[in-house]
Structure 1
Amino acid sequence: MKVDPKRQISTYTAPRGAFEIVTVPPIRYLMIDGHGDPNERGQYEDALTTLYPVAYNLKFLSKRELDRDYVVPPLEALWWGDDMAAFTTARDKSRWDWTVLSLVPDWIEDAHVDEARATVAGKGGAPRLDVLRVQRLDEGRCVQTLHVGPYDAEGPVLERMHDEFIPAHGLRLTGRHHEIYLSDPRRAAPEKLRTILRQPVVDL
Protein backbone atom coordinates (compact mmCIF):
# COMPACT_ATOMS: atom_id res chain seq x y z
CA MET A 1 0.00 0.00 0.00
CA LYS A 2 1.46 3.34 -1.07
CA VAL A 3 1.44 6.07 1.58
CA ASP A 4 1.12 9.78 0.79
CA PRO A 5 2.98 11.58 3.62
CA LYS A 6 1.32 14.93 2.95
CA ARG A 7 -2.11 13.37 3.56
CA GLN A 8 -0.97 12.29 7.02
CA ILE A 9 -0.05 15.83 8.09
CA SER A 10 -3.02 18.21 8.34
CA THR A 11 -0.93 21.34 7.68
CA TYR A 12 -0.36 20.25 4.07
CA THR A 13 -3.77 21.75 3.35
CA ALA A 14 -4.72 25.41 3.71
CA PRO A 15 -7.76 27.57 2.94
CA ARG A 16 -7.86 29.58 -0.26
CA GLY A 17 -8.56 33.28 0.19
CA ALA A 18 -8.21 33.19 3.98
CA PHE A 19 -5.48 32.90 6.58
CA GLU A 20 -5.37 30.29 9.33
CA ILE A 21 -3.20 29.80 12.40
CA VAL A 22 -1.83 26.27 12.67
CA THR A 23 0.78 24.32 14.63
CA VAL A 24 3.16 22.51 12.31
CA PRO A 25 4.80 19.36 13.71
CA PRO A 26 8.57 18.87 13.47
CA ILE A 27 9.42 17.40 10.04
CA ARG A 28 12.67 15.97 8.66
CA TYR A 29 13.77 17.19 5.26
CA LEU A 30 16.46 16.84 2.68
CA MET A 31 17.85 20.39 2.44
CA ILE A 32 20.09 22.40 0.13
CA ASP A 33 20.85 26.10 0.70
CA GLY A 34 21.48 28.76 -1.91
CA HIS A 35 21.15 32.40 -2.95
CA GLY A 36 19.76 34.34 -5.89
CA ASP A 37 17.03 34.35 -8.50
CA PRO A 38 15.45 30.88 -8.83
CA ASN A 39 14.51 31.62 -12.44
CA GLU A 40 18.11 32.04 -13.56
CA ARG A 41 20.44 29.17 -14.36
CA GLY A 42 22.72 28.49 -11.43
CA GLN A 43 22.43 27.43 -7.82
CA TYR A 44 18.67 26.86 -7.70
CA GLU A 45 18.59 24.68 -10.80
CA ASP A 46 21.61 22.73 -9.53
CA ALA A 47 19.89 22.26 -6.15
CA LEU A 48 16.80 20.72 -7.76
CA THR A 49 18.93 18.58 -10.05
CA THR A 50 20.47 17.17 -6.88
CA LEU A 51 17.45 17.04 -4.57
CA TYR A 52 15.04 15.13 -6.80
CA PRO A 53 17.32 12.14 -7.58
CA VAL A 54 18.06 11.64 -3.88
CA ALA A 55 14.37 11.93 -2.96
CA TYR A 56 13.34 9.36 -5.57
CA ASN A 57 16.19 7.02 -4.68
CA LEU A 58 14.96 7.12 -1.08
CA LYS A 59 11.46 6.20 -2.25
CA PHE A 60 12.72 3.21 -4.27
CA LEU A 61 15.04 2.14 -1.44
CA SER A 62 12.13 2.25 1.01
CA LYS A 63 9.95 0.15 -1.28
CA ARG A 64 12.74 -2.33 -2.06
CA GLU A 65 14.41 -2.75 1.33
CA LEU A 66 11.73 -1.72 3.83
CA ASP A 67 8.62 -2.83 1.93
CA ARG A 68 7.12 0.64 2.46
CA ASP A 69 6.16 2.55 -0.66
CA TYR A 70 5.20 6.21 -0.60
CA VAL A 71 4.48 9.19 -2.81
CA VAL A 72 7.42 11.59 -3.03
CA PRO A 73 6.11 14.75 -1.32
CA PRO A 74 5.90 18.10 -3.14
CA LEU A 75 8.86 20.41 -3.39
CA GLU A 76 9.10 23.01 -0.63
CA ALA A 77 11.37 25.98 -0.01
CA LEU A 78 12.28 28.48 2.68
CA TRP A 79 12.92 32.05 1.51
CA TRP A 80 14.48 34.97 3.36
CA GLY A 81 16.56 38.10 3.00
CA ASP A 82 17.73 41.19 4.81
CA ASP A 83 14.50 43.02 3.91
CA MET A 84 11.13 41.28 3.70
CA ALA A 85 10.08 43.88 1.10
CA ALA A 86 12.22 41.90 -1.32
CA PHE A 87 9.43 39.30 -1.17
CA THR A 88 6.33 41.49 -0.98
CA THR A 89 6.70 44.74 -2.92
CA ALA A 90 10.05 44.82 -4.72
CA ARG A 91 10.15 41.07 -5.51
CA ASP A 92 13.91 41.51 -6.05
CA LYS A 93 14.82 37.86 -6.56
CA SER A 94 18.53 38.56 -6.84
CA ARG A 95 18.47 39.36 -3.10
CA TRP A 96 16.74 36.17 -2.02
CA ASP A 97 18.30 33.43 0.09
CA TRP A 98 16.63 30.04 0.05
CA THR A 99 16.65 26.42 1.17
CA VAL A 100 14.94 23.82 -0.99
CA LEU A 101 13.25 21.01 0.95
CA SER A 102 11.96 17.49 0.39
CA LEU A 103 10.15 15.74 3.23
CA VAL A 104 11.75 12.54 4.55
CA PRO A 105 9.24 10.03 6.01
CA ASP A 106 9.73 9.18 9.69
CA TRP A 107 10.73 5.57 9.02
CA ILE A 108 13.65 6.59 6.80
CA GLU A 109 16.91 6.60 8.78
CA ASP A 110 20.05 8.64 8.14
CA ALA A 111 21.79 5.47 6.94
CA HIS A 112 19.17 5.13 4.20
CA VAL A 113 19.82 8.73 3.11
CA ASP A 114 23.55 7.97 2.97
CA GLU A 115 22.84 4.94 0.79
CA ALA A 116 20.64 6.97 -1.57
CA ARG A 117 23.25 9.72 -1.73
CA ALA A 118 25.93 7.17 -2.65
CA THR A 119 23.72 5.75 -5.41
CA VAL A 120 23.13 9.21 -6.87
CA ALA A 121 26.83 10.07 -6.61
CA GLY A 122 27.68 6.93 -8.56
CA LYS A 123 25.45 8.01 -11.43
CA GLY A 124 26.81 11.57 -11.57
CA GLY A 125 24.90 14.69 -12.56
CA ALA A 126 24.05 15.88 -9.03
CA PRO A 127 26.20 19.02 -8.72
CA ARG A 128 25.29 20.01 -5.15
CA LEU A 129 25.38 16.63 -3.48
CA ASP A 130 28.21 17.75 -1.21
CA VAL A 131 25.99 20.34 0.51
CA LEU A 132 22.82 18.26 0.77
CA ARG A 133 21.90 17.48 4.38
CA VAL A 134 19.08 15.98 6.45
CA GLN A 135 17.66 18.23 9.15
CA ARG A 136 14.54 18.48 11.27
CA LEU A 137 12.56 21.71 10.90
CA ASP A 138 10.36 22.68 13.86
CA GLU A 139 8.28 25.70 12.82
CA GLY A 140 5.61 25.43 15.50
CA ARG A 141 2.87 28.04 15.26
CA CYS A 142 2.40 29.46 11.75
CA VAL A 143 0.01 31.47 9.64
CA GLN A 144 -0.72 30.01 6.23
CA THR A 145 -2.98 30.27 3.22
CA LEU A 146 -3.42 28.64 -0.18
CA HIS A 147 -2.41 30.89 -3.07
CA VAL A 148 -3.74 29.98 -6.51
CA GLY A 149 -1.99 31.76 -9.35
CA PRO A 150 1.46 32.79 -10.56
CA TYR A 151 4.30 32.94 -8.05
CA ASP A 152 4.84 36.62 -8.88
CA ALA A 153 1.27 37.38 -7.77
CA GLU A 154 2.06 36.32 -4.19
CA GLY A 155 3.21 39.80 -3.13
CA PRO A 156 -0.18 41.33 -2.20
CA VAL A 157 -1.18 38.14 -0.35
CA LEU A 158 2.00 38.24 1.71
CA GLU A 159 1.53 41.94 2.44
CA ARG A 160 -1.92 41.23 3.88
CA MET A 161 -0.56 38.31 5.88
CA HIS A 162 2.42 40.24 7.28
CA ASP A 163 0.93 43.71 7.72
CA GLU A 164 -2.71 43.00 8.56
CA PHE A 165 -3.58 39.48 9.73
CA ILE A 166 -0.49 38.71 11.83
CA PRO A 167 -0.39 41.94 13.89
CA ALA A 168 -4.20 41.95 14.21
CA HIS A 169 -3.92 38.62 16.03
CA GLY A 170 -1.23 39.79 18.44
CA LEU A 171 1.55 38.00 16.60
CA ARG A 172 4.82 38.86 14.91
CA LEU A 173 6.92 37.20 12.24
CA THR A 174 9.71 34.84 13.15
CA GLY A 175 11.62 32.23 11.20
CA ARG A 176 11.56 32.05 7.42
CA HIS A 177 8.87 32.36 4.77
CA HIS A 178 7.89 28.84 3.66
CA GLU A 179 6.30 27.76 0.39
CA ILE A 180 4.87 24.33 -0.48
CA TYR A 181 4.43 23.76 -4.21
CA LEU A 182 1.37 21.56 -4.66
CA SER A 183 1.46 22.00 -8.45
CA ASP A 184 4.16 21.17 -10.98
CA PRO A 185 4.94 24.42 -12.89
CA ARG A 186 6.01 22.32 -15.89
CA ARG A 187 2.49 20.91 -16.21
CA ALA A 188 0.12 23.53 -14.79
CA ALA A 189 -0.74 26.92 -16.25
CA PRO A 190 0.55 29.83 -14.11
CA GLU A 191 -2.99 30.87 -13.15
CA LYS A 192 -3.67 27.38 -11.79
CA LEU A 193 -0.53 26.93 -9.66
CA ARG A 194 -1.42 25.98 -6.08
CA THR A 195 1.07 27.07 -3.40
CA ILE A 196 0.77 27.04 0.37
CA LEU A 197 2.30 30.24 1.79
CA ARG A 198 3.39 29.80 5.41
CA GLN A 199 4.96 32.16 7.94
CA PRO A 200 6.11 31.11 11.44
CA VAL A 201 4.90 33.49 14.16
CA VAL A 202 5.20 34.15 17.90
CA ASP A 203 3.27 36.32 20.34
CA LEU A 204 4.06 40.04 20.41
Structure 2
Amino acid sequence: MSDSRTAAPAAKVDFKKALASYVAPRGTFEIIDVPERRYLTVDGHGDPNAAPEYSAALEALYPVAYRLKFASKTQLGRDYVVPPLEGLWWAADMEAFTAARDKSQWDWTMMILVPEWIEDALVGATIAGLAGADAPARLDDVRLASLAEGRCVQTLHIGSYDDEAAVLERMHTEFIPAQGLRMRGTHHEVYLSDPRRVAPEKLRTILRQPVVGPDEGAGRG
Protein backbone atom coordinates (compact mmCIF):
# COMPACT_ATOMS: atom_id res chain seq x y z
CA MET A 1 0.00 0.00 0.00
CA SER A 2 1.36 3.38 -0.98
CA ASP A 3 2.20 5.80 1.81
CA SER A 4 2.06 8.86 -0.44
CA ARG A 5 -0.36 11.62 0.46
CA THR A 6 -1.76 14.54 -1.46
CA ALA A 7 -0.91 17.83 0.19
CA ALA A 8 -3.93 19.71 1.45
CA PRO A 9 -4.49 23.09 -0.17
CA ALA A 10 -3.52 26.08 1.91
CA ALA A 11 -6.38 27.63 3.84
CA LYS A 12 -7.93 30.79 2.43
CA VAL A 13 -6.61 33.81 4.32
CA ASP A 14 -9.10 36.30 5.75
CA PHE A 15 -7.13 39.41 6.65
CA LYS A 16 -9.95 40.76 8.81
CA LYS A 17 -9.19 37.84 11.12
CA ALA A 18 -5.46 37.44 10.48
CA LEU A 19 -4.25 41.02 11.05
CA ALA A 20 -4.47 42.70 14.45
CA SER A 21 -4.87 46.12 12.83
CA TYR A 22 -8.23 45.00 11.40
CA VAL A 23 -9.62 44.43 14.90
CA ALA A 24 -10.35 47.39 17.19
CA PRO A 25 -12.28 47.93 20.44
CA ARG A 26 -15.61 49.70 20.43
CA GLY A 27 -16.10 52.57 22.85
CA THR A 28 -12.42 52.94 23.75
CA PHE A 29 -9.22 53.89 21.98
CA GLU A 30 -6.14 51.70 21.62
CA ILE A 31 -2.57 52.41 20.59
CA ILE A 32 -1.12 49.97 18.06
CA ASP A 33 1.84 49.70 15.72
CA VAL A 34 0.94 49.15 12.07
CA PRO A 35 3.79 47.87 9.86
CA GLU A 36 4.44 49.03 6.32
CA ARG A 37 1.98 47.52 3.87
CA ARG A 38 1.19 47.80 0.15
CA TYR A 39 -2.15 48.81 -1.29
CA LEU A 40 -3.93 49.26 -4.56
CA THR A 41 -4.85 52.95 -4.46
CA VAL A 42 -6.80 55.63 -6.31
CA ASP A 43 -6.74 59.32 -5.30
CA GLY A 44 -9.52 61.87 -5.51
CA HIS A 45 -11.24 64.93 -4.05
CA GLY A 46 -14.73 65.87 -2.95
CA ASP A 47 -17.84 64.48 -1.31
CA PRO A 48 -17.81 60.67 -1.67
CA ASN A 49 -21.60 60.74 -1.88
CA ALA A 50 -21.63 63.14 -4.80
CA ALA A 51 -18.27 63.24 -6.59
CA PRO A 52 -18.37 61.04 -9.73
CA GLU A 53 -14.64 60.38 -9.37
CA TYR A 54 -15.28 58.56 -6.08
CA SER A 55 -17.61 55.95 -7.56
CA ALA A 56 -15.27 55.69 -10.54
CA ALA A 57 -12.38 55.03 -8.16
CA LEU A 58 -14.19 52.04 -6.63
CA GLU A 59 -15.19 50.80 -10.07
CA ALA A 60 -11.49 50.66 -10.92
CA LEU A 61 -10.18 49.29 -7.63
CA TYR A 62 -12.45 46.29 -7.19
CA PRO A 63 -11.89 44.63 -10.59
CA VAL A 64 -8.13 44.84 -10.03
CA ALA A 65 -8.45 43.47 -6.49
CA TYR A 66 -10.56 40.50 -7.56
CA ARG A 67 -8.43 39.76 -10.62
CA LEU A 68 -5.34 39.84 -8.37
CA LYS A 69 -6.95 37.40 -5.93
CA PHE A 70 -7.68 35.02 -8.82
CA ALA A 71 -4.08 35.33 -10.06
CA SER A 72 -2.75 34.57 -6.59
CA LYS A 73 -4.93 31.48 -6.32
CA THR A 74 -4.18 30.09 -9.78
CA GLN A 75 -0.55 31.15 -10.25
CA LEU A 76 0.77 31.13 -6.69
CA GLY A 77 -1.52 28.59 -5.05
CA ARG A 78 -2.49 31.05 -2.31
CA ASP A 79 -6.11 32.07 -1.92
CA TYR A 80 -7.53 34.85 0.23
CA VAL A 81 -10.64 36.88 0.88
CA VAL A 82 -10.37 40.26 -0.85
CA PRO A 83 -9.49 42.66 1.98
CA PRO A 84 -11.87 45.43 3.04
CA LEU A 85 -11.95 48.81 1.39
CA GLU A 86 -9.94 51.46 3.22
CA GLY A 87 -9.63 55.20 2.87
CA LEU A 88 -7.19 57.95 3.77
CA TRP A 89 -8.92 61.30 4.29
CA TRP A 90 -7.57 64.79 4.78
CA ALA A 91 -8.32 68.46 4.16
CA ALA A 92 -6.55 71.79 4.40
CA ASP A 93 -8.63 72.46 7.54
CA MET A 94 -9.12 69.33 9.64
CA GLU A 95 -12.26 70.90 11.11
CA ALA A 96 -13.86 69.71 7.87
CA PHE A 97 -13.90 66.24 9.46
CA THR A 98 -15.33 67.13 12.84
CA ALA A 99 -17.38 70.27 13.47
CA ALA A 100 -18.03 71.34 9.88
CA ARG A 101 -18.16 67.96 8.11
CA ASP A 102 -17.72 69.85 4.83
CA LYS A 103 -17.23 66.88 2.55
CA SER A 104 -16.67 69.04 -0.51
CA GLN A 105 -13.30 69.97 1.02
CA TRP A 106 -12.13 66.39 1.55
CA ASP A 107 -9.23 64.80 -0.28
CA TRP A 108 -8.99 61.03 -0.25
CA THR A 109 -7.12 57.92 -1.27
CA MET A 110 -9.18 54.75 -1.51
CA MET A 111 -7.23 51.54 -0.97
CA ILE A 112 -7.34 47.74 -0.90
CA LEU A 113 -4.56 45.75 0.75
CA VAL A 114 -2.19 43.68 -1.39
CA PRO A 115 -0.94 40.49 0.34
CA GLU A 116 2.77 40.51 1.11
CA TRP A 117 3.45 37.38 -0.93
CA ILE A 118 2.30 39.00 -4.19
CA GLU A 119 5.15 40.65 -6.08
CA ASP A 120 4.89 44.06 -7.72
CA ALA A 121 5.24 42.53 -11.19
CA LEU A 122 2.07 40.47 -10.75
CA VAL A 123 0.17 43.57 -9.66
CA GLY A 124 1.35 45.42 -12.76
CA ALA A 125 0.43 42.52 -15.03
CA THR A 126 -3.01 42.30 -13.43
CA ILE A 127 -3.72 45.98 -14.02
CA ALA A 128 -2.44 45.75 -17.59
CA GLY A 129 -4.63 42.70 -18.19
CA LEU A 130 -7.77 44.76 -17.55
CA ALA A 131 -6.92 47.36 -20.18
CA GLY A 132 -9.07 47.51 -23.28
CA ALA A 133 -12.39 48.77 -24.53
CA ASP A 134 -14.24 47.63 -21.42
CA ALA A 135 -11.64 48.86 -18.94
CA PRO A 136 -12.85 50.89 -15.93
CA ALA A 137 -12.68 54.62 -16.61
CA ARG A 138 -10.08 55.21 -13.90
CA LEU A 139 -7.98 52.09 -14.44
CA ASP A 140 -4.96 54.21 -15.37
CA ASP A 141 -5.23 55.90 -11.94
CA VAL A 142 -4.82 52.65 -10.01
CA ARG A 143 -1.34 52.46 -8.52
CA LEU A 144 0.53 50.30 -6.06
CA ALA A 145 1.67 52.28 -3.03
CA SER A 146 3.28 51.54 0.33
CA LEU A 147 2.04 53.01 3.58
CA ALA A 148 4.12 52.96 6.79
CA GLU A 149 1.87 54.24 9.57
CA GLY A 150 3.77 53.04 12.64
CA ARG A 151 2.21 54.05 15.94
CA CYS A 152 -1.52 54.75 15.64
CA VAL A 153 -4.62 55.32 17.74
CA GLN A 154 -7.73 53.50 16.60
CA THR A 155 -11.23 52.54 17.64
CA LEU A 156 -14.24 50.72 16.21
CA HIS A 157 -17.18 52.93 15.29
CA ILE A 158 -20.58 51.30 14.81
CA GLY A 159 -23.10 53.50 13.06
CA SER A 160 -23.48 55.96 10.23
CA TYR A 161 -20.39 57.54 8.73
CA ASP A 162 -21.90 60.93 9.55
CA ASP A 163 -21.94 59.98 13.24
CA GLU A 164 -18.14 59.65 13.34
CA ALA A 165 -17.53 63.33 14.11
CA ALA A 166 -18.05 63.06 17.88
CA VAL A 167 -15.76 60.02 18.10
CA LEU A 168 -13.03 61.76 16.10
CA GLU A 169 -13.38 64.88 18.25
CA ARG A 170 -12.70 62.81 21.39
CA MET A 171 -9.81 61.01 19.71
CA HIS A 172 -8.18 64.23 18.46
CA THR A 173 -8.75 66.58 21.40
CA GLU A 174 -8.96 64.28 24.42
CA PHE A 175 -7.33 60.85 24.09
CA ILE A 176 -4.31 61.69 21.91
CA PRO A 177 -3.19 64.75 23.95
CA ALA A 178 -3.79 62.85 27.21
CA GLN A 179 -1.28 60.22 26.07
CA GLY A 180 1.35 62.89 25.38
CA LEU A 181 1.01 62.29 21.63
CA ARG A 182 0.42 64.43 18.55
CA MET A 183 -1.37 63.62 15.32
CA ARG A 184 0.65 62.99 12.19
CA GLY A 185 -0.04 61.54 8.78
CA THR A 186 -3.58 61.05 7.54
CA HIS A 187 -6.91 60.01 9.02
CA HIS A 188 -7.50 56.37 8.04
CA GLU A 189 -10.74 54.40 7.88
CA VAL A 190 -11.22 50.67 7.38
CA TYR A 191 -14.70 49.68 6.16
CA LEU A 192 -15.56 46.32 7.69
CA SER A 193 -19.17 46.49 6.43
CA ASP A 194 -20.64 46.83 2.95
CA PRO A 195 -22.95 49.89 3.00
CA ARG A 196 -24.98 48.34 0.18
CA ARG A 197 -25.98 45.45 2.45
CA VAL A 198 -25.84 46.84 5.99
CA ALA A 199 -28.12 49.44 7.57
CA PRO A 200 -26.34 52.72 8.40
CA GLU A 201 -26.75 52.23 12.16
CA LYS A 202 -24.96 48.86 11.94
CA LEU A 203 -21.97 49.85 9.81
CA ARG A 204 -18.64 48.83 11.37
CA THR A 205 -15.71 51.15 10.63
CA ILE A 206 -12.24 51.29 12.16
CA LEU A 207 -11.15 54.90 12.70
CA ARG A 208 -7.37 55.27 12.83
CA GLN A 209 -4.99 58.18 13.33
CA PRO A 210 -1.18 57.93 13.15
CA VAL A 211 0.53 59.69 16.07
CA VAL A 212 3.99 60.68 17.30
CA GLY A 213 5.51 61.61 20.64
CA PRO A 214 6.07 65.27 21.55
CA ASP A 215 9.68 65.27 20.34
CA GLU A 216 9.13 63.32 17.11
CA GLY A 217 8.61 64.79 13.66
CA ALA A 218 5.18 64.90 12.09
CA GLY A 219 3.92 64.89 8.54
CA ARG A 220 1.56 63.19 6.14
CA GLY A 221 2.10 59.53 5.25
TM-score range, shorter chain: over 0.9
1:6-38 Cα shifts (integer Å, max 9, x gaps)? 322211100000000110111110111100000
> Does the CA-based 8 Å contact 2:155-2:206 persist in structure 1?
yes
Cα deviation, residue 123, structure 1: 6.0
Provide structure 1 residue ranges, at least 5 long, that are not aligned to the other structure: none
Q: Which residue of 2 aligns with 1:168?
A: 178
Within the candidate set 46, 52, 66, 2:56 is matched to: 46
Matched, 1:92 2:102: yes
Matched, 1:107 2:117: yes
Identity of counterpart residues, as a percentage? 66
Structure 1 residue ranges (4+ consecutive) displaced by more than 4 angstroms after TM superposition? none
Q: Distance in 1 between matches of 2:190 and 2:16?
A: 11
Within the candidate set 80, 83, 104, 2:90 is matched to: 80
Cα deviation, residue 197, structure 1: 0.1
Q: Distance in 2 between matches of 1:42 and 1:7?
A: 33
For 1:171, give the aligned amino acid: L
> Does the CA-based 8 Å contact 1:149-1:193 persist in structure 2?
yes
Q: Which residue of 2 aligns with 1:158?
A: 168
> Does the CA-based 8 Å contact 2:36-2:150 persist in structure 1?
yes
> Does the CA-based 8 Å contact 2:56-2:138 persist in structure 1?
yes
Q: Distance in 2 between matches of 1:125 and 1:81?
A: 30
For 1:147, give the aligned amino acid: H
> Does the CA-based 8 Å contact 1:15-1:145 persist in structure 2?
yes
Cα deviation, residue 124, structure 1: 2.0
Q: Which residue of 2 aligns with 1:127?
A: 137
Cα deviation, residue 81, structure 1: 0.5
Cα deviation, residue 41, structure 1: 4.2
1:123-154 Cα shifts (integer Å, max 9, x gaps)? 62411111211111000000000000000000
Within the candidate set 34, 43, 46, 1:24 is matched to: 34
Q: Distance in 1 between matches of 2:61 and 2:86?
A: 11
> Does the CA-based 8 Å contact 1:179-1:195 persist in structure 2?
yes
For 1:143, give the aligned amino acid: V
Q: Which residue of 1 aligns with 2:204?
A: 194
> Does the CA-based 8 Å contact 1:121-1:129 persist in structure 2?
yes
Q: Distance in 2 between matches of 1:111 and 1:133?
A: 12
Q: Distance in 2 between matches of 1:120 and 1:90?
A: 40
Matched, 1:15 2:25: yes
**SS in structure 1 of the partner of residue 130 of structure 2:** helix
Q: Distance in 1 between matches of 2:133 and 2:144?
A: 21
Normalising by structure 1, what TM-score?
Answer: 0.97
For 1:5, give the aligned amino acid: F
**SS in structure 2 of the partner of residue 85 of structure 1:** helix
**SS in structure 2 of the partner of residue 86 of structure 1:** helix
1:46-96 Cα shifts (integer Å, max 9, x gaps)? 100000000000000111111111000000000000111100111100000
Considering only CA atoms, is the larger Rg found in Structure 1 or Structure 2? Answer: 2
Q: Distance in 2 between matches of 1:71 and 1:101?
A: 15
Cα deviation, residue 119, structure 1: 2.1
For 2:72, give the aligned amino acid: S
Say how many residue pairs are matched.
204
**SS in structure 1 of the partner of residue 124 of structure 2:** helix
Q: Distance in 2 between matches of 1:28 and 1:147?
A: 24
Provide structure 2 residue ranges, at least 5 long, that are not aligned to the other structure: 1-10, 215-221
